Amino acid sequence: MRNPNGYGTVAKLSGKRRRPYIVKKTVGWNEKRQPIYDIIGYAETREAGNIMLAEYNRDPWDVDRAKITLQQLFNLWKEKKAPKLGESNRSSLCSAFNHCSKLVNKPYKQIRSYQMQETIDNCGKGYSTQAAIKNLWGHLDRFALELDIITRCYSDLLTSDPIPPTSRLPFSTDEIKRLWEHQSDPWVDTVLILIYSGWRISELLNLKPEDVDLQAGTMKGGTKTKAGKDRVVPIHSKIRPFIEARLAEGGPRLICYNGRPCNQTQYRIFWADIMKALEMNHTPHECRHTFETQLDSAGANRKCIDLLMGHVSKDTGNRVYNHKTLDELKATVALIQC
C-alpha cells in the first residue's frame, strides 16, 4: 500500500549494509524540482523502517543534527527509546548519565571514544556502574546513528572492568536442614520459600495474592529482565503450607508485615536476625544461588532451569527451539529433595 503524500518513505539502499533501509521524508524541492529529503534514520528491515517512520509522523523528531548536544540527545532518547526498556535497566542508564556531566553541552557528533572512555575510567565506581555507563553510550550511539547524527559507533571501542568471580555461596545441606528445624521461628518460612522457588528478594516481596494459583500450584511474577518478567514458578510441595498460611493472612502482598507490604529494608532486618540466631552467614540472593545449584546437581534440564530462574538460554537450540510445559517445570522443581 502506497503511503499518503507527505508521509515519507522507506527505501532499500544498494550494496551490502548492516542497515540497508533508509527512512526519509520529502521536506522541499530544489531548483531542478528534485526532492530534498530529511533523513529520519536507517533500519535493518523494511518493517523496522516503517515503524520508525510511523513513530516520527506521530511525534516528529525535530533535531539539528550538527548542533544537538549530548544533553539534548539524551533527553530525546529518554522520551523515545527509554520507555521501551525495563524499569531497572532504564533507572540504571539514567543514573549512569550523571557520570557524563562534563560532556552534556558538547555537540554529540564531536564526542569521540576517548572522551566516552574517560567517563568510565573517571567515574570512581566499580564494574557495575562502569558497565552501565558503557551501556548508555551504546544506546545513545545507536539512537544517534538512527537519526543520522553520526556515521559510526565509537561506543564499540569502550571497555570497562570485568565482572569479578562471584563470592556467593549457596546454603549447604546441613544449613537447609537447620532451617527446617526452625521453620516455626518468625520469618524462617520466607527463607525456605526463597530457597525452593529461586525468586529474587524484590520479586518475592512484590508477589500479590492474585499471583498465586493454589489450584494450579504456581506463582507468577518476576522483574529485572524480559525473560524474568511474568515467569511461572511451580510451588514446591515442601513450601506449599507456608504459601497457604501467608495467603490466609489476607494482606495486599503474599509477604506482609503487620498487614502491610514488607519492604526490602525491613526484610533485611528480619534476615539479619535469622542469620545471627542460626549462626549462618548468607545474603537473600544466595537463596537464588541455592535453588539453581540444587536443580543443577539433581540433573535438571538446562532449559527448565533457565525458565525458572528467568534467564535467557545461552545456546540457540535451547533459546529458540526448546519449549517446555508447566508439567515439565513442576517435575523439575520436584527434583529438589533436601
Chain segment 100-158, per-residue pLDDT in tens: 999 999 999 999 999 999 999 999 999 889 999 999 999 999 999 988 899 899 999 99
Please report, as a single letter, which amino acid is at residue 134. K
Per the structure, the complete domain to which residue 31 belongs is given by 9-58
Owner of C-alpha cell 507490604? 261
Tell me if 287 is assigned to some domain: yes
Helices (H), the chain: 46-58, 70-80, 87-96, 113-121, 127-146, 173-181, 188-195, 201-206, 240-248, 264-277, 285-297, 302-309, 316, 326-333
Beta bridge partners of 12: 21
Q: So what's the pLDDT on residue 186?
A: 96
Residues 128, 30 share a domain = no
Cell 506482609 belongs to residue: 256
Give yes or no for residue 5 having a pLDDT over 80.
no
Please indicate, yes or no, if residue 166 is contained in any of the structural domains: no
pLDDT above 70 as % of the chain: 93
Pair 28, 85 in one domain = no
- Give dist(CA 174, CA 65) in Å, integer: 63
Which residues, at least 6 apart from 305, have a Cβ–Cβ distance to it below 8 Å? 292, 295, 296, 311, 332
Which of 90-94, 177-181, 261-265, 311-315 bottoms out in mean pLDDT, i.e. has the lowest? 311-315
35, containing H or E segment: strand 35-43
| Domain shared by 179 and 320, yes or no | yes
Written as nine digits, the cell of 194 is: 526463597
Distance CA 197, CA 219 (A): 9
Cα separation, 43 vs 59, in Å, equals: 18
- The residue with greater pLDDT, 3 or 317, is 3
Would the pLDDT of 222 be above 90?
A: no
Contacts of 149 (CB under 8 A, 6+ apart): 63, 65, 68, 73, 108, 109
User: What is the total count of domains within the chain?
Assistant: 3
Task: Give the residue with greater pLDDT, 84 vs 240.
Answer: 240
Strand duo 212-213 + 218-221: pairing: antiparallel
Residues 293 and 328 in one domain: yes
Handedness of CA 119, 121, 126, 127 (dihedral sign): positive
| pLDDT surpasses 70 at 324 | no
Kindly report, residue by residue over 250-292, the tens digit of the pLDDT: 999 999 999 999 999 999 999 999 999 999 999 999 999 999 9
Q: What is the mean pLDDT of the chain?
A: 89
Q: Does position 322 have pLDDT exceeding 60, yes or no?
A: no
Q: Is the entire prediction scored with pTM above 0.75? A: no
- CATH code, 300: 1.10.443.10
Q: How far apart are CA 106 and CA 204, in angstroms?
A: 44
What pLDDT was estimated at residue 16?
Answer: 86
Judge contact between 220 and 209, C-beta under 8 A: no
Both 153 and 88 in one domain: the answer is: yes
- Is the residue at 167 inside a domain? no
Which distant-in-sequence residues (6+ apart) come within 8 Å of 263 by Cβ? 205
d(CA 292, CA 290): 6
Other CB atoms within 10 A of residue 77 CB: 20
> CATH number for the domain including 139?
1.10.150.130
Are 153 and 251 in a shared domain? no
Average pLDDT on 22-38 reads 82
